[in-house]
């Protein structure tokens, strides 16, 4: 039977818990190669998530206070560091290593992480693996800081 609502069923899971499972109009996701948006009827895919914000648009049943004031009512934003997403025509399953609302981000800790990443970068020498790890740490910290700055 066809879904006449043209809504995606979105499930967002971390190792600790299922954050939510609800319908939404669209989902913006940070892949390793850049952001992309999923709408109802999207072609099936599996993608690796990078550091950035997952934004669920038009989410029904928004918890009071769950949406950041910088987002329209019914939208949810979570910062993730890494994970995977499975997209099917009518549903999106997000498996993230961690997920924080912008107001949950510890800005001081993210700034320390950024400083640590910059130090790793400067000390990487000839090691491609050391540069890759430093870049991962820097990207995560910058994404957290950007997300935290958009909470107001």
For residue 151, what pLDDT band results from cuts at 50, 70 and 90?
A: low
CATH fold, domain 8-102, is ATP Synthase; domain 1 (2.60.15)
What does pLDDT average to over the chain? 87
Nearest Cα residue to 59 out of 28, 84, 83: 28
Q: β-strand 8-13 against 91-96: which pairing, if any?
A: parallel
Quick one: tokens of 77? 């934003």
pLDDT digits (tens, 9 = 90+) for 14-42: 999 999 999 999 999 999 899 999 999 99
User: Between residues 1 and 5, which one has the greater pLDDT?
Assistant: 5
Residues 109/78, Cβ–Cβ less than 8 Å: no
For residue 60, what pLDDT band results from cuts at 50, 70 and 90?
A: low
> Given a cut of 60, is residue 69 above it in pLDDT?
no
> Given a cut of 90, is residue 59 above it in pLDDT?
no
Q: Which helix (H) or strand (E) holds 53?
A: strand 52-57
| Cα distances (Å, whole numbers) of residue 104 to 67, 77, 130 | 12, 11, 29
For residue 55, what pLDDT band results from cuts at 50, 70 and 90?
A: very high
70 Cβ contact partners less than 8 Å away, ≥ 6 residues apart: 102, 150, 151, 152
Alpha-carbon gap, residue 151 to 89, rounded angstroms:
31
User: Between residues 45 and 2, which one has the greater pLDDT?
Assistant: 45
Supply the pLDDT for residue 5: 76
Supply the pLDDT for residue 125: 87
For residue 77, what pLDDT band results from cuts at 50, 70 and 90?
A: very high
> Given a cut of 60, is residue 1 above it in pLDDT?
no
């Amino acid at each position: 039977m066809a879904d006449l609502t043209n809504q995606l069923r979105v499930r967002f899971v971390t190792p600790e818990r299922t954050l939510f499972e609800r319908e939404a109009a669209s989902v913006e996701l940070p892949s390793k190669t850049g952001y992309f948006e999923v709408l109802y009827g999207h072609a099936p895919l599996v993608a690796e998530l990078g550091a950035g914000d997952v934004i669920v648009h038009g989410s029904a049943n928004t918890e009071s206070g769950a949406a950041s004031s910088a987002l329209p009512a019914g939208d949810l934003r979570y910062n993730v560091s890494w994970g995977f997403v499975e997209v099917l025509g009518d549903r999106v399953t997000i498996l993230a290593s961690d997920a924080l609302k912008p107001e949950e981000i510890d800005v001081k800790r993210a700034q320390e992480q950024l400083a640590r990443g910059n130090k790793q970068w400067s000390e990487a020498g000839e090691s491609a693996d050391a540069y890759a790890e430093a870049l991962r740490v820097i990207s995560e910290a910058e994404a957290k800081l950007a997300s935290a700055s958009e909470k107001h």
